[in-house]
Amino acid sequence: MRSQQFSEGVFAFLLIGIVVFSGIVIALIFSKNRPEEVRLGERLMFAAIIFGVVVAVIFGALQMLGGYLF
């Protein structure tokens, strides 16, 4: 039972992280004061954040399908 509560806590933290990082990407993409030319480091940062969000969603879905949650 303790591992069930731990898994639900990790899943909740995962969802909070997804919301925060998605908000960061959306805010930076639609920002009015960003430069026209996006630098290489910024492109890599956006790609890493988006990749992390996708991996997190897959991880959460696999946990739910595997029966570790609920």
Q: What is the pLDDT along the chain (70 residues), one digit of tens a residue?
A: 566 666 777 778 878 888 888 888 788 778 888 777 878 888 898 888 888 888 888 887 787 777 765 5
Task: Say if residues 25 and 50 touch (Cβ distance below 8 Å).
Answer: yes
Shortest CA distance to 43 belongs to which of 54, 29, 57? 29
| Structure confidence at residue 4 (pLDDT) | 61
Q: Which two tokens stand for residue 44?
A: 């890599």
**Which amino acid does the sequence have at 23?**
G
| Structure confidence at residue 30 (pLDDT) | 81
